[in-house]
Amino acid sequence: MANMGMVVITKQRGQSLMVANTKEKKSFVSKFLNGVEFVGNKLPDPAVLFFLMCVGLVIITWIVSLFNVSVKHPGDGKTIHIKSILSHDGFAYIMNNAIKNFSEFPALGLVLGVMIGIGAAEKSGYFDKLMISVVNRAPKKLIVPTIILIGILGSTAGDAATIILPPLAAMLFIKIGYHPIAGLAMAYASAVGGFAANLVVGMQDALVYSFTDPAARIVSKNIKTNVAMNWYFIAASVVVLLPTIHLVTTKLIIPRLGKYDDSQAHEDTEETSSHITPKENKALFFANISFVVLIVLLIICAIPEHSFLRNAKTGSLLDDAPLINGVGLIILVVFLVPGTIYGVLSGEIKNTKDLGSMIADSLGSMGSFIVIVFFAAQLLAFLEWSNLGVIAAVKGAKLLQHQNGIVLIIGIIILSAMVNMLVGSASAKWGILAPIFVPMLILVGFHPAFTQAIYRVGDSITNPITPMMPYLPLLLSYAQKYDKKMKLGTLLSSLMPYSIALTIVWIAFTLIWFLLGIPVGPGGPIKM
């Protein structure tokens, strides 16, 4: 999961985990997760990890070059040999291209551009109040599915849903007669477990695409990709995940936790505010109106046969069309406008300096991503220049070419899920895995869009239980307000059923999608 708008919880994390591990009889699950956390904490910072991978790759190219390894290029059929980066030409390449590799890294501008719009909507409070408003207006029977839906769609708002929704859900669960811990677990599992599902193309699509596109170029520069190429799949996943999480909550978690005994709560427990002032409500109304108007205008502009949003030659809205190519700009505007309107009318934005500061803060939160991208860009460039990427892909593809497609899909999902237990950041994980998975599966016959989609499933299903998720300690602190004896292992026992259910259902759904041969998005077929 990408860490945007991250709050500082390091100290709280250490305290929470210390409390959680004291005087607790550790189950196998708890011991396993504690072990995972220990190993994960020993890993270096993602940026340092990428730097070390660059150093390792340099050494590997030198070692492999000693054995004169070669393969036929899958594109033009020419024989290509490994080139050592530890050479005169290699050092010259680094000096000439290091900055260029970084500045020309595909989708870097897209990600930062999208964050301008997302940042304005997040920092102005628009996303927060929108979530609270929707939950408050939902009928009692629809409160549970509404919270789940907001949690799943919350990735559009960065990490806001992960922070805001769990305490809000706990408070609402008390009001409707359920255990608040059930609300916390459900909201958290929805927000992080449904991370790869959404009805709209947003920030997460831009982040994973920024690594998929250059990974595809290792094999061929002619493969077309776009930021919206997973849209059909992630939208359909919402329809599948919502009833799954709802069923786990109502049939397992709520009955298991039983009635809530508030005698176990901390005396200083503060009720999470779900109040929206008349001024905020007015601001929210006009911000929502502006959002709807923008979407309607976009649809109207797309309808004409010779629309500027269509491909000038074919008239297509999907194939190499400004609508798809410019989706980053569309996301920027669609969120910047309502976020700004809400901020101005609510009083959060008093002048242009306030708006500029909000956007700057949002882009500032992307600092770690930018540092990772610098080293990831070098890693991908080294793989391409040395020919190691193509050679590894060809050799790997030969091992996989006789494998059943279903076996490959399940294998990649499970491997991604396991890596997710050690590395929390979705972009960092995909930065490591994309140069391996994407070229290899291209040569087997799978389009990068499908490879990206199945990675995102694996990245999401273990999110509720990974100790590397920075918001797990925060969730524990929320839970301890309602049950001062709550331990980490106990909390994880309420989250584990969600990960198990998501693993079974989402993998099954992915396999059905694969067997039906449905494109995962516009310009995103399953096979090449």
Task: State the number of CA atoms in the 13 A half-sphere of 279 facing the CB.
Answer: 7
Q: Select, from the ranges 10-19, 75-84, 327-336, 473-482, the one with the highest average predicted confidence (pLDDT).
A: 327-336
For residues 169 and 213, is the Cβ–Cβ distance under 8 A?
no
Residue 179 has pLDDT above 70, yes or no: yes
Q: Select, from the ranges 41-50, 427-436, 437-446, the one with the highest average predicted confidence (pLDDT).
A: 437-446
Task: State the number of CA atoms in the 13 A half-sphere of 483 facing the CB.
Answer: 20
Say what the pLDDT of residue 411 is.
86
Q: ∠ CA(254), CA(170), CA(204), 5° rounding?
A: 100
pLDDT in tens, 477-508: 788 888 877 777 778 888 988 999 999 999 99
For residues 437 and 412, is the Cβ–Cβ distance under 8 A?
yes
- Pairwise pLDDT comparison (60 vs 475), residue with the higher score: 60
Cβ neighbors of 213 (< 8 A, separation 6 or more) are 106, 107, 225, 448
Alpha-carbon torsion (393, 394, 395, 396), positive or negative:
positive
For residues 185 and 498, is the Cβ–Cβ distance under 8 A?
yes
What phi and psi, each to the nearest 5 degrees, are found at residue 72? Answer: -85, 130
Residue 14 has pLDDT above 80, yes or no: no
Say what the pLDDT of residue 17 is.
43
Is 98 buried (19+), middle (13-18) or exposed (0-12) by CB count in 10 A?
middle
Residue 466 has pLDDT above 90, yes or no: no
pLDDT in tens, 308-362: 988 888 887 766 778 877 878 888 898 899 999 999 999 999 999 999 998 898 8
pLDDT in tens, 389-406: 778 777 776 776 667 788
- Quote the CA–CA distance of 43 and 37 in Å, as a whole number: 10
Would you tell me how many other CB atoms lie within 10 Å of the CB of residue 247? 12
pLDDT in tens, 252-273: 888 888 888 766 555 544 455 5
pLDDT in tens, 288-301: 999 999 999 999 99
Task: State the number of CA atoms in the 13 A half-sphere of 312 facing the CB.
Answer: 1
Label residue 110 by pLDDT band (50, 70, 90): confident
Say what the pLDDT of residue 490 is.
78
Residue 139 has pLDDT above 80, yes or no: no
Say what the pLDDT of residue 34 is.
66
Mean pLDDT along residues 143-169: 80
Residue 248 has pLDDT above 90, yes or no: yes
Task: State the number of CA atoms in the 13 A half-sphere of 318 facing the CB.
Answer: 12
**Structure tokens that stand for 238 in this block:** 């919402």
Residue 25 has pLDDT above 70, yes or no: no
Mapped to the 3 state alphabet, what secondary structure does 399-429 carry? HHCCCCHHHHHHHHHHHHHHHHCCCCCHHHH
Mean pLDDT along residues 122-142: 80
- Quote the CA–CA distance of 159 and 365 in Å, as a whole number: 11
Say what the pLDDT of residue 405 is.
83
Residue 232 has pLDDT above 60, yes or no: yes
Q: Which value, in Å, is the radius of gyration of the alpha carbons in the chain?
A: 24
Q: What is the mean pLDDT of the chain?
A: 82
Provide the angle, in degrees to the nearest 10, between the axes of the packed helices 160-175 and 143-153: 170
- Quote the CA–CA distance of 453 and 459 in Å, as a whole number: 10
Would you tell me how many other CB atoms lie within 10 Å of the CB of residue 511? 16
Alpha-carbon torsion (152, 154, 158, 161), positive or negative:
negative
For residues 426 and 204, is the Cβ–Cβ distance under 8 A?
yes
Single out the residue of 132, 151, 240 nearest to residue 471, CA to CA. 151
Q: Report the SS3 class of residue 81.
A: strand
- Pairwise pLDDT comparison (427 vs 147), residue with the higher score: 147
Say what the pLDDT of residue 9 is.
37
- Quote the CA–CA distance of 223 and 207 in Å, as a whole number: 19
Mean pLDDT along residues 226-252: 93
Least confident of 26-35, 85-94, 307-316: 26-35
Phi-psi map region of 9: left, alpha, beta (phi>0 left; psi -120 to 50 alpha): alpha
Q: Report the SS3 class of residue 80.
A: strand
- Pairwise pLDDT comparison (446 vs 110), residue with the higher score: 446
For residues 491 and 458, is the Cβ–Cβ distance under 8 A?
no
